[in-house]
Amino acid sequence: MNGRGNRRRFVAAMLSFLQPGIGHVYLREWVRAVLWGTVWLGSLLLVLTTAGLELTARNLLATAGGFFSAVDGFPMEAALAMFAITVFATMDAYWLAAREDYRIDDTPRCPNCSKELDPSLEFCHWCTARLDEK
């Protein structure tokens, strides 16, 4: 594994830990970035309403900007739920970066299923797709 791949995994995971979805933007996984950002923001709004806090722009910005300092006003279950969402988003960003590094290696892969090819065959032994000879 090269140093670039390890750094990319670490940066994606750290960005996702700071704000779920940002690590996915770094990886250019736009759909997942929107999904994680929406899940996190929706959960934050749900926590704020169930904790009895006002939904003002100032409270939202203060809570989102300093989430760990704002957790004092949250019920324990709500804080754990928000932390779990953050951890899962972080793990997903790390996994995506690791998967992308795996696909960059020099082994020949099937253009149909992306699995490793047997060079002695004229077809993919995984999905049976015919391979063009080059």
Span 13-58, pLDDT tens digits: 999 999 899 999 999 899 999 999 999 888 888 877 777 766 666 6
Cα four-point dihedral sign 87, 89, 93, 98 = positive
Q: Give the closest residue to 93 by CA, choosing from 28, 48, 42.
A: 28
Give, to the nearest 10 degrees, the angle between helix 30-50 and helix 57-65: 120
Specify the residue for token string 């929706």: 42
Domain residue ranges in the chain: 3-103, 107-134
Coil, helix or strand at residue 116: strand
Residue type, 133: E
Q: What is the pLDDT of residue 1?
A: 46
Q: pTM here?
A: 0.64
